[in-house]
Amino acid sequence: SMTGVTNGSFVVAAAGRLDRCLADHVAQLSRLPLSRSQLQRCIEQGLVRVNEKVVTKAGEALREGDVVSFDEL
């Protein structure tokens, strides 16, 4: 695990890009924030799901109420 952030899930509060929403969430959880490029790599590697489906595009548009989840980043 690059970050020690594991078994996370959160509901998107405001529409935006997946990498952006994930960065905001991880920043609240972790003392060492991940860079956007590290998060983009996690997404491209298939580590992140949106509404239970793997999404590999960092720029994927999320809507309020979407559920983002991951096992380990």
For the chain, the DSSP string reads --SS-EEEEEE-SS-EEHHHHHHHHHHHH-SSPPPHHHHHHHHHTT-EEETTEE---TT-EE-TT-EEEEEE-
Q: For 40-68, what is each residue's pLDDT tens digit? A: 999 999 999 999 999 999 999 999 999 99
Q: For 3-34, what is each residue's pLDDT tens digit? A: 567 778 999 999 999 999 999 888 887 777 77
Prediction pTM value: 0.87
Tell me what pLDDT residue 39 has.
92
